[in-house]
Structure 1
Amino acid sequence: MFRGLSAFPLTPTTETDIDEASFRTLVARLAAAGVDSIGALGSTGGYAYLSREQRARAARIAVEAADGVPLVVGIGALRTAQVSALAEDAQKAGASAVLLAPMTYQALTDDEVFGLYEDVSRELSVPLCVYDNPGTTHVHFTDELHARIAHLPNVAAIKIPPLPDAPARAKARVETLRALLPDTVTIGISGDWAAATGLNAGCEAWYSVVGGLFPATALTLTRAAQDGDAARATALSERLEPLWELFRVHGSLRVMSAAAEQLGLTDRPNLPRPLRELPPPAHQKLATALTSLGLTA
Structure 2
Amino acid sequence: MIRGQPTMFSGLSAFPLTPMNQSGIDEAAFVRLVERLADAGVDSIGALGSTGSYAYLTRAERMRTAQLAVKHAGEVPVIIGIGALRTRDVLALAEDAQKAGASGVLLAPMSYQKLSADEVFALYETVTRSLSVPLCVYDNPTTTHFEFSDELHERIAQLPNVRSIKIPGVPVEPRAARARVERLRALVPPQVTIGVSGDALAATGLNAGCEVWYSVIGGLFPRAALAITRAAQAGDVQEATRLSERLRPLWALFDQHGGSLRVVAAAAELRGLAEHPTLPLPLKTLEGADRQQLAALLDELDLA
Which bracket does the TM-score occupy, shorter chain normalised? over 0.9
2:3 corresponds in structure 1 to none
2:14 corresponds in structure 1 to 7
Structure 1: 5+ residue runs without aligned partners? none
2:160 corresponds in structure 1 to 153
**2-structure distance, mates of 1:295, 1:176:** 36
2:119 corresponds in structure 1 to 112
Q: Secondary structure at the match of 1:118?
A: helix
**2-structure distance, mates of 1:5, 1:178:** 19
**1-structure distance, mates of 2:288, 2:212:** 34
**Which residue type is aligned with residue 287 of structure 1?**
A
| Deviation for aligned residue 1:66 | 0.3
| Deviation for aligned residue 1:162 | 1.2
**1-structure distance, mates of 2:36, 2:214:** 17
Matching of residue 265 in structure 1 with residue 273 in structure 2: yes
Matching of residue 284 in structure 1 with residue 292 in structure 2: yes
1:210 corresponds in structure 2 to 217
Cα contact 1:5–1:35 (8 A) shared by 2: yes
Write the mapping of 1:244-259 to structure 2, written as runs, cut at 5 A.
244-250=251-257, 251-259=259-267
**Which residue type is aligned with residue 58 of structure 1?**
T
Post-superposition CA distance 1:23-57 (Å, at most 9, x none): 01100000000000000000000000000000000
**2-structure distance, mates of 1:282, 1:119:** 44
**2-structure distance, mates of 1:187, 1:284:** 37
**2-structure distance, mates of 1:61, 1:279:** 30
Cα contact 1:15–1:273 (8 A) shared by 2: no
| Deviation for aligned residue 1:16 | 3.1
**1-structure distance, mates of 2:267, 2:256:** 15
| Deviation for aligned residue 1:100 | 0.2
The ranges of structure 1 where at least 4 consecutive aligned residues each deviate by more than 3 angstroms after the TM superposition are: none
Q: Secondary structure at the match of 1:122?
A: helix
1:70 corresponds in structure 2 to 77
**2-structure distance, mates of 1:3, 1:108:** 29
The sequence identity of aligned pairs, in percent, is 67
Q: Secondary structure at the match of 1:295?
A: coil
**1-structure distance, mates of 2:209, 2:22:** 41
Cα contact 1:189–1:207 (8 A) shared by 2: yes
**2-structure distance, mates of 1:157, 1:103:** 18
**Which residue type is aligned with residue 120 of structure 1?**
V
Matching of residue 59 in structure 1 with residue 66 in structure 2: yes
Cα contact 1:78–1:103 (8 A) shared by 2: yes
**2-structure distance, mates of 1:205, 1:32:** 19
**1-structure distance, mates of 2:114, 2:64:** 31
Cα contact 1:199–1:205 (8 A) shared by 2: yes
Post-superposition CA distance 1:217-255 (Å, at most 9, x none): 100000001101111111100000111011111121111
1:49 corresponds in structure 2 to 56
**Which residue type is aligned with residue 194 of structure 2?**
I
**2-structure distance, mates of 1:165, 1:220:** 20
1:171 corresponds in structure 2 to 178
Structure 2: 5+ residue runs without aligned partners? 1-7
Q: 1:275 aligns with which of 270, 277, 283?
A: 283
**Which residue type is aligned with residue 249 of structure 2?**
P
| Deviation for aligned residue 1:276 | 1.2
Q: Secondary structure at the match of 2:130?
A: coil
**Which residue type is aligned with residue 291 of structure 1?**
D
User: TM-score, normalised to structure 1's length?
Assistant: 0.99
| Deviation for aligned residue 1:15 | 3.1
Deviates most, 156-165 or 11-20: 11-20
Q: 2:195 aligns with which of 181, 188, 195?
A: 188
User: TM-score, normalised to structure 2's length?
Assistant: 0.96
